[in-house]
């Protein structure tokens, strides 16, 4: 089937979009346990970028699993497909000139490596929100850990399914040791050079 698919050549390209936006486009991927603070931090990073005039879009479990991925479960193979689709959507948004912020548990290293392959290494920033299971359970913002402990939720990362922490993330945020404000500033400072266009 793929041999019959021929890409159409459009007159407006990614380079034109980033020039128009006056900044580069790439993907910031927030990974960590449920309740670690991924979405909270990603939301505040996006707000800080938006206030600087950066064109952004956030992807998270709610806006993905209620729409494009509503047919997927939390079984390992469906988690892999969930992440693959998010990576492909992110890749289109990068081509559209946006800075994409994606906050997903994404527990498997192979899936996160696949994201890097899809969007290309230069467009991928891995941010590990490192919060202990004990702290995530204490917070239990959505009540998921309590349900998992009671056997009501299967394949719960950290309880009945594994989480494979990144070996060398671009940024590691230890939420139990630093404030949210400090974490956000550290992330924004890290990606600021990446936003700059090289017009030379």
Render 39-67 in DSSP notation, one character per residue: HHHHHHHHHHHHHTT--EEEEEHHHHHTT
Q: Give the residue among 160, 142, 187, 157 at the shortest CA–CA distance from 83.
A: 157
Low-confidence ranges of the chain (pLDDT < 70): 1-2, 4-8, 199-200
- Residues with a catalytic annotation lie at 106
Looking at residue 102, its pLDDT comes to 97
**pTM for the predicted model, two decimal places:** 0.91
Looking at residue 62, its pLDDT comes to 75
C-alpha 38/C-alpha 40 separation (Å) is 6
Looking at residue 66, its pLDDT comes to 87
C-alpha 119/C-alpha 99 separation (Å) is 12
Q: What is the pLDDT of residues 156-178, one digit of tens each?
A: 999 989 999 999 999 999 999 99
Looking at residue 200, its pLDDT comes to 43
Looking at residue 8, its pLDDT comes to 65
- Find the DSSP H helices in 52-179: 61-65, 76-95, 109-119, 133-139, 144-149
């Amino acid at each position: 089937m793929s041999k019959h698919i021929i890409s159409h050549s459009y007159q407006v390209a990614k380079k034109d979009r980033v020039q128009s936006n006056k900044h580069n486009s790439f993907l910031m991927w927030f990974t960590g346990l449920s309740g670690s603070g991924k979405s909270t931090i990603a939301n505040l990073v996006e707000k800080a970028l938006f206030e600087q005039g950066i064109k952004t879009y956030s992807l998270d479990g709610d806006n993905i699993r209620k729409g494009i991925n509503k047919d997927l479960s939390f079984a390992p193979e469906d988690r892999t497909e969930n992440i693959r689709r998010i990576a492909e959507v992110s890749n289109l948004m990068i081509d559209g000139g946006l800075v994409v912020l994606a906050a997903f548990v994404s527990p498997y290293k192979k899936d996160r490596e696949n994201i890097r392959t899809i969007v290309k290494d230069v467009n991928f920033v891995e941010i590990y929100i490192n919060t202990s299971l004990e702290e995530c359970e204490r917070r239990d913002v959505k009540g998921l850990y309590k349900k998992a402990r009671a056997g009501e939720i299967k394949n719960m990362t950290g309880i009945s399914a594994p989480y494979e922490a990144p070996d060398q993330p671009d940024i590691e945020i230890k939420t139990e040791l630093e404030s949210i404000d400090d974490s956000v500033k550290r992330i924004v400072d890290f990606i600021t050079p990446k936003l700059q266009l090289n017009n030379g």
